[in-house]
Chains A and B, each alone.
Chain A
Amino acid sequence: MLRSNSGFEHEYSEGVLYVRLWGEIDHHGAATLRGDIDSLIYEKRPQRLLLDLSGVGFMDSSGLGLIMGRYSLVGELGGSMAILDPTEPIVKILNLAGIKRIIAIEKTKEAKKK
């Protein structure tokens, strides 16, 4: 198994699934992330998915696919989703794709209180 340069930690409570991604999100790491996050989503069936990007230093368009895919899945299961704290370079690619018109982009502390 080749060393992975991405991963995530998660917390679940009262319908809110909090996922904190870290590392470099590209096509190489996306398949594993997708499988692992989707297992969690199916298991917990969250009303809300919070995707924290504060630990992501690099992301290309494969990350956009990853985000939109999770957004669709959570939506199909009747939940909603928000992106938390993207770093400067990540904001740039999110904006290029017009993600904020579809998914709310929020600050960690405020969103976790909701």
Chain B
Amino acid sequence: MRNKGFSSVVTNEMKLKLPSCSVNEGVARAVVAAFCAQLDPAASELADIKCAVSEAVTNCIVHAYRDSVGWIYITVKILEGGGVRVEVRDRGCGIADVRAARRPLFTTDPSGERSGMGFTVMENFMDILRVRSKPGKGTNVVMFKRLSRRGENT
């Protein structure tokens, strides 16, 4: 099965489209967290999702649309059984070598004080991270996370 342990049944869905202005980093994570709050997750789980979304959105702003402003497309799906799927997509410059880019400390922009830890955060704070990219076309980041559903006796 492709998305190990996650249902493909979607019970709720949200789409958000924002221009790549840095003020939208905070907007994006706040909106996604508000949407995910319907699952009554633990505070730490919500914090993880906010951080992962912040990383993906910041990458669109800092890297994908480095010299321009473009749209960032965010889709959040609530999955049956208490998981979430978050997709962050851009039509920016793309990544030539995704494997290299995902390594801890890898950055193409050290002068901007980038830590090269964005993908590492997404990987560790979420359960699944999938990155697809085409140079010149854009990048698609998909993340899954299982939430504990404090409200239920699971």
Contact = CB atoms under 8 A, between A and B. Distances in A.
A interacts with B: yes
A34 B61 CA distance: 19
Given A58-B50, A88-B44, A27 B117 contact: no
Given A27-B58, A96-B121, A89 B47 contact: yes
A26 B115 contact: no
Interface of A: 2, 5, 24, 26-28, 30, 34, 58-62, 64-66, 68-69, 88-89, 92-93, 96-97
Given A93-B51, A96-B121, A24 B26 contact: yes
B51 A58 contact: yes
A64 B105 CA distance: 11
Contacts of B51: 58-60, 89, 93
B124 interface: yes
B54 interface: yes
B75 interface: no
10 interchain residue pairs of minimum CB distance? A65-B113, A28-B22, A61-B117, A64-B115, A89-B47, A60-B54, A65-B115, A27-B58, A69-B113, A61-B115
